[in-house]
Amino acid sequence: MGVLTQYLLQRQDIDLKLVELDGESVDYLLTHFPGMPGRLYQADYLRLDIHKLFPGPYRVIGNFPYNISSQIFFKILDDKDRIPEVVCMIQKEVAERIAEQPGSKTYGILSVLLQAWYDIEYLFTVGPGAFAPPPKVQSAVIRLRRNGRTELGCDEKLFKTVVKTAFNQRRKTLRNALKPLLPEGFDASDPVFDLRAERLGVEDFVALTQLINP
């Protein structure tokens, strides 16, 4: 219903494009807010070719649908070199997971992949009372700002695979969790293989990827 959009529309210093999938919401926005034509696109963000809207860098701002927030972040990662900043409201547990540091049970795949490329700030919590009707979950607003990293120093595709494989069996040591990825005859005697995925930070996963594929 334009709760966030109404404030963005007041900004004269930005080139604002809006993406909304739901037809009823699109009709409501067009009816209640002037200046929408040419800015509002009825589309699925996950399928949208955003480069047709923005040929250069762009920021992503929104109240993400909670059921696809992880998929949105993976799409952002795919276009990370053109997205300097993301500000969004998501479910509190997901926000905490993304901002979490190694050693926590909530630290996971998105934590590592996003922290590799972005500095992440947990800004504030949004309680159920801010919504009508109130949901059963809490929400949070976070900000991601692109860090100075231009490359990982290892095979990026393998890095993603190592992170995902390690966390998919997070209760196992890396020696066992990563068995499918290790070359035949690979020497897994390095002490890092005695650890579980949640103990490793971004740089540790980079080093691990270099060990597997020097």
* The predicted structure's pLDDT at residue 27: 96
Task: Report which residue type is found at 137.
Answer: V
The mean pLDDT of 57-72, rounded to a whole number, is 96
Which residues fall within 8 angstroms of residue 106, CB to CB, at 6 or more apart? 93, 96, 97, 100
The mean pLDDT of 31-59, rounded to a whole number, is 93
CATH of 47-146, one of 3.50.50.60, 3.40.50.150, 3.40.50.970, 1.10.340.30: 3.40.50.150
The mean pLDDT of 95-111, rounded to a whole number, is 95
**Could you give the C-alpha distances from 157 to 116, 138, 139, 179, 206, in angstroms and in order?**
13, 34, 32, 17, 11
CATH of 156-212, one of 2.70.50.60, 1.10.1740.10, 1.10.8.100, 3.40.50.300: 1.10.8.100
CB distance 91 to 69 below 8 Å: yes
pLDDT band at 214 (very low <50, low <70, confident <90, very high): confident
Q: What percent of the chain has pLDDT over 70?
A: 100
**Could you give the C-alpha distances from 83 to 17, 58, 86, 162, in angstroms and in order?**
14, 5, 7, 24
Where are the CATH 1.10.8.100 domain residues in the chain? Answer: 156-212
Phi-psi region of 73 (alpha: psi -120 to 50; beta: other; left: phi over 0): alpha
Is 62's pLDDT higher than 90?
A: yes
* The predicted structure's pLDDT at residue 51: 93
pLDDT one-digit tens code per residue, 126-166: 999 999 899 999 999 999 999 999 999 999 999 999 999 99
Q: Pick the closest to residue 200 from 118, 101, 114 (CA basis).
A: 101
pTM, full prediction: 0.93
Where are the CATH 3.40.50.150 domain residues in the chain? Answer: 47-146
